[in-house]
Structure 1
């Protein structure tokens, strides 16, 4: 087992870095002349921590303000729900004037697929320009004690159910947005909620989600489906060592995931590093700080439990239980057709190398779409998997598509509400 050995190397890397970096693991302040030769060790220290997965603390979101209608609005970040599996973060804008119309917030379901949710910082910043945001922040499995249970896929679906209820408790239905692998548990949670009550969500949007990996399988899909669960147990699973709280837990370690991510997508890692170093050497301090932040967020990986990892392999890649209508969560059958009246948007990239064409759009057929429901299928040109939620394609194409979909949903909801409100008012006057 390599975990204890790798962990010792990470501790050694942190000891070598010493007190060079700030407590948050970020760049020195803007006033610091870190581009001078005296601070060349800072750049090396950041690179060493990234390359060895040795961050002692996850880089923070640190979203202090966003642009709203041409003005800057401060942002408050808080934890509004906490479970062993993770926390629900709320990002609330402090607007200079009360809005004329209250827009439902977004609940952003981060994927549990290697990266910490902070990788979606840019996604959150963009969403905050239009409305408040909730984000699922999953816990590193090494920090969860064995007493919390196996932390299976069922547990994560139920956690999303709980988080949706928490977000709705703030007084408004929510637009759920699920990215990549989060699409599966998010769709499952939404379907279970729809069985229990009418219109539990304002809408649900799936971005590059592997709903049916039998359609146009990618290299990732073929690798996952062609290896047995026992093979993954023998080659990808390790044991968390002391002194971590989750000592003894079987996990798919973050350092193995980072290696797998780099092997599958070396161009992204190299592009982030090249952007940082070129700006650093050119003396572009603000640009280098932004590039460093993105590189550190991408390199912040976490362990996932073996139970969850095996469940995802089995449900999504081996047995395809969701599209076959055979998936059960904690003894309850997931009936995707229950979402026939829930507004649904699916977005795919035409160059997505992780999620094949049609794997996300197929959710519309599975939901047995009602002709009265607002629905949208969007395929973004010249867009790979990460472009769906980070970078220019996200800002210039994906986000505007989501905003248009949400406007249509909210407009349709208001048209339905107006006759009902008028009828209710008439009835009240008659009874008076």
Structure 2
């Protein structure tokens, strides 16, 4: 019923949003003398703030049309190379000159945790100058008809396996936040089967591998409430007339509400500052607010089975670090991972995946040789700073690229030709 109320409320506010739009246009029109006064800018600011805080935000675009490779600006074309029911695989095709090496091949597994894959725009942008980049573009569950079937945690791992096989050997997989778990699952399953398409390296960033370590507010909530509370209170059927009518989901608007509540004072201050920037005619500062919240407020629904299985198996039972994660009638055996190199990255101030939770993969993946593993903690960044921002571009992205070059086929072959040991990567510690 809550989902229906949310939809009704949005529909009821539509006329008021239209009035707010017209008011903003009227009081920002340069032909209107009042628009050049503080009174006019104040009215326009109130109108825009109302419209933006009551709007349902659509899926953003990546908008990455070009990149710079070795000082040369090259066009980038975004293409769908694999289209699945719950996910599209996107490829950012760089128009490199003939003969120019393309660099390592990365599969970025984006979080399916409420936001769209475009939340990782900065991650993709930072890697494009050095590598071929693919990313999972998850589909909003409320747009998937009920007849398409379920999508749970094991299905997620199957999707990662299928994409790795599609891309072929010598692919480097990156799991950002929540996907660290299914990426580990997929890699272990492929290694156990001696699949030649198992990733050459695996980078896990800010992921909940073992949430018993340094638990955050998110982790504590899962333990305190229990699975039944989440099933009864935060999963609900998609209302008519959406294509996924009747499908049980964890709605994106609930996830967004949770994120907002965690740092409510910060968001209130940001909106107050946005209003003041508009009144002061500080267009640059106001635009930065728009860009951030256009992305932050754009959310998607998750299938209820995926959400509940993740809460239960990852945050309540901690099955992965216990080596008890179920998969297709058996168990995921992380000790089978031997050939895939492992890089774990954490943020010093991460309040979603605490320091040590991702590094736990280094312990439970006990069969990976020491010269094929590395761990890095980025100082002075929170959760989003692990995969976005200036420190990510300057300090984390180069480590990821270097790790892939070190453990990819080209790097291994080059070292073998020089008679060097198989491991050893610069810039990771």
User: TM-score when scaled to structure 2?
Assistant: 0.85
Q: Which residue of 2 aligns with 1:79?
A: 80
Following superposition, the deviation at residue 382 of structure 1 comes to 0.9
Query: Is the CA contact 1:14–1:54 (under 8 Å) kept in the aligned structure 2?
Result: no
Tell me: CA distance 1:212–1:181, structure 2 relative to 1, closer, same or farther (3 Å). same
* Distance in 1 of aligned mates of 2:44 and 2:134: 33
Following superposition, the deviation at residue 269 of structure 1 comes to 3.8
Q: Which residue of 2 aligns with 1:51?
A: 53
Q: Which residue of 2 aligns with 1:2?
A: 2
Query: Is the CA contact 2:249–2:301 (under 8 Å) kept in the aligned structure 1?
Result: yes
- Structure 2, unaligned stretches of length 5 or more? 420-429
Task: Pick one of 179, 183, 207 that aligns with 2:180.
Answer: 183
Give SS of 1:75's match: strand
* Distance in 2 of aligned mates of 1:152 and 1:412: 36
* Distance in 1 of aligned mates of 2:74 and 2:350: 34
Q: Which residue of 1 aligns with 2:257?
A: 259
* Distance in 1 of aligned mates of 2:93 and 2:309: 34
Query: Is the CA contact 1:275–1:291 (under 8 Å) kept in the aligned structure 2?
Result: no
Tell me: CA distance 1:45–1:409, structure 2 relative to 1, closer, same or farther (3 Å). farther
* Distance in 2 of aligned mates of 1:351 and 1:278: 29
Following superposition, the deviation at residue 40 of structure 1 comes to 8.4
- Cα deviations by residue, 1:387-427 (Å, 9 ceiling, x for unpaired): 1112222222221222232232246422366499xxxxxxx
Q: Which residue of 2 aligns with 1:428?
A: none
Alignment of 1:183-332 (within 5 A): 183-196=180-193, 197-198=195-196, 200-266=198-264, 269-270=267-268, 273=271, 280-281=278-279, 283=281, 285=283, 288-332=286-330
Query: Is the CA contact 1:241–1:248 (under 8 Å) kept in the aligned structure 2?
Result: yes
Q: Which residue of 2 aligns with 1:142?
A: 142
Query: Is the CA contact 1:85–1:156 (under 8 Å) kept in the aligned structure 2?
Result: no
Following superposition, the deviation at residue 233 of structure 1 comes to 1.7
Query: Is the CA contact 2:344–2:375 (under 8 Å) kept in the aligned structure 1?
Result: yes
Tell me the number of residue pairs that the alignment of Structure 1 and Structure 2 aligns: 406
Tell me: CA distance 1:317–1:69, structure 2 relative to 1, closer, same or farther (3 Å). same
Tell me: CA distance 1:380–1:306, structure 2 relative to 1, closer, same or farther (3 Å). same
Query: Is the CA contact 1:50–1:300 (under 8 Å) kept in the aligned structure 2?
Result: no
Tell me: CA distance 1:409–1:248, structure 2 relative to 1, closer, same or farther (3 Å). same
Query: Is the CA contact 2:20–2:50 (under 8 Å) kept in the aligned structure 1?
Result: no
- Cα deviations by residue, 1:245-287 (Å, 9 ceiling, x for unpaired): 1111111111111111111133664576467556555545456
Give SS of 2:375's match: strand
* Distance in 2 of aligned mates of 1:173 and 1:151: 28
Task: Pick one of 390, 393, 405 that aligns with 2:391.
Answer: 393
Q: Which residue of 1 aligns with 2:333?
A: 335
* Distance in 1 of aligned mates of 2:76 and 2:261: 37
* Distance in 2 of aligned mates of 1:12 and 1:302: 21
Tell me: CA distance 1:62–1:201, structure 2 relative to 1, closer, same or farther (3 Å). same
Q: Which residue of 2 aligns with 1:94?
A: 95
Give SS of 2:178's match: helix
Give SS of 2:83's match: strand
User: TM-score when scaled to structure 1?
Assistant: 0.85
Following superposition, the deviation at residue 100 of structure 1 comes to 4.0
Tell me: CA distance 1:187–1:71, structure 2 relative to 1, closer, same or farther (3 Å). same
Tell me: CA distance 1:41–1:319, structure 2 relative to 1, closer, same or farther (3 Å). same
Q: Which residue of 2 aligns with 1:174?
A: 171
Q: Which residue of 2 aligns with 1:357?
A: 355
Query: Is the CA contact 1:142–1:247 (under 8 Å) kept in the aligned structure 2?
Result: yes
Q: Which residue of 2 aligns with 1:119?
A: 119
* Distance in 1 of aligned mates of 2:324 and 2:64: 41
Query: Is the CA contact 1:84–1:144 (under 8 Å) kept in the aligned structure 2?
Result: yes
Give SS of 1:315's match: helix
Between 402-411 and 271-280, the greater mean CA deviation after superposition: 271-280
* Distance in 2 of aligned mates of 1:135 and 1:314: 27
Between 140-149 and 4-13, the greater mean CA deviation after superposition: 4-13
* Distance in 1 of aligned mates of 2:321 and 2:215: 14
Following superposition, the deviation at residue 210 of structure 1 comes to 0.5
Tell me: CA distance 1:33–1:12, structure 2 relative to 1, closer, same or farther (3 Å). farther
